[in-house]
Structure formats: structure tokens, C-alpha cells
Amino acid sequence: MIPSIAPRLVAASILNMPGGQHVVPLAAARLAADAVGLMFLVVVVTVGILLAVVTSAARGLVAALAELARLAAVMMSTVVLMTIVIVAVVAFLAHH
């Protein structure tokens, strides 16, 4: 819907501006097409920038999750080791 409205809106704006009588409709249509091409380029660049930002954020999130998983593994091994030591000490004290 917007791509069909934008060229007409630009052409109408160019033809109705002060001094617009010197602009021929073909030139106005060409300027409108250039404006649509420029809008498309801006959209493509904006989408590219957004994808780059999302990719960077995803990399940071993956790095943070990897660090969290490493920390959880260290904590789990510490808890398991402490449990083994406590069970061994209780078993030793219970037999004496």
C-alpha cells in the first residue's frame, strides 16, 4: 500500500510546491521514484543495522550463559564433594 502511495505523494508535493510550474511531470515522477528508492535503501540499511545489533546481543547472551553454565558446574562439583566429605565424616564418627 505504501509503495504505491509514496511516489504519488512525492510527485504531488513537487508539482504543488512554489515554483513547481517549472518541473515537468516526468521529472516529478523520476524524483518520486528516486525517493522511493531512497526509502527502500534506508529500510534495508536500518534492517541491516538491527540485524548486526541483534547478532551482537545474541553473542553476548551466549557468552553470559556459557559463563553461567561453567559457574553452575563448579558449584555443583563443590556441593557433591562437600556431600561426600560430610557422609564420610558422619560414617567415620558413627563407627567410633
pLDDT tens string 38-69:
777 788 889 989 999 999 999 999 999 999 99
The range of the structural domain enclosing residue 32 comes to 2-95
In this prediction the pTM is: 0.47
For residue 13, pLDDT over 70 is answered with: no
- Mean predicted lDDT score pLDDT of the chain: 80
The tally of domains found in the chain comes to 1
Report, in angstroms and rounded to the nearest whole number, the Rg of the chain calculated over CA atoms. 34
Residue % of the chain over a pLDDT of 90? 48
Question: What single string gives the DSSP state of each residue in 25-57?
Answer: HHHHHHHHHHHHHHHHHHHHHHHHHHHHHHHHH
| Rounded Cα–Cα distance for residues 48 and 41 (Å) | 10
How many CB atoms within 10 Å of residue 86?
10
**Which residues touch 76 (CB under 8 Å, ≥6 apart)?**
none
| Rounded Cα–Cα distance for residues 57 and 65 (Å) | 12
